[in-house]
Structure 1
Amino acid sequence: MRQIFQEVYRALKYGGLFILVDFHLTNPVFWAGLAVFLWLFETETAWKSIETDLESLLAEVGFQAYNSE
């Protein structure tokens, strides 16, 4: 995942926007549906990605959080 983020960061134009859909377990309402989806269609890699600290990994690569306020 780090290599993917590094390449996105390298290829993104200055000031560009990288949008990532995050399926982390922040809202328990979605957990049952997500669990069924992952169980039916995804690999162990998808389950492991849920445990990844994406915010830290993206910051490590060089991305900065976007503040819309």
Structure 2
Amino acid sequence: MTYPAGYNPSSSGGRRGSGSSNSGIFLIIFLLVVIIMIGYTIYNATRPITYPSAADFMIYHTFQLDAILSH
């Protein structure tokens, strides 16, 4: 059996490695979310104003829903 580079097959190293890989995955997910949020903010700031933002879209549809439900 071949191990990927940087993987330690010994029991103590393996246990330590699995713990660090879990926190690494969470760190990667967190960084991805932050990058997506920053990218989305920049995208919103640089795109033409003619399109409604996601928040305006949600508010608009909420008002539409209220109008439909009140009738």
Larger Rg, first or second structure (1 or 2): 2
Q: Same fold (TM over 0.5)?
A: no
Question: What TM-score does the superposition give when structure 1 sets the normalisation length?
Answer: 0.29
Q: TM-score, normalised by structure 2?
A: 0.28
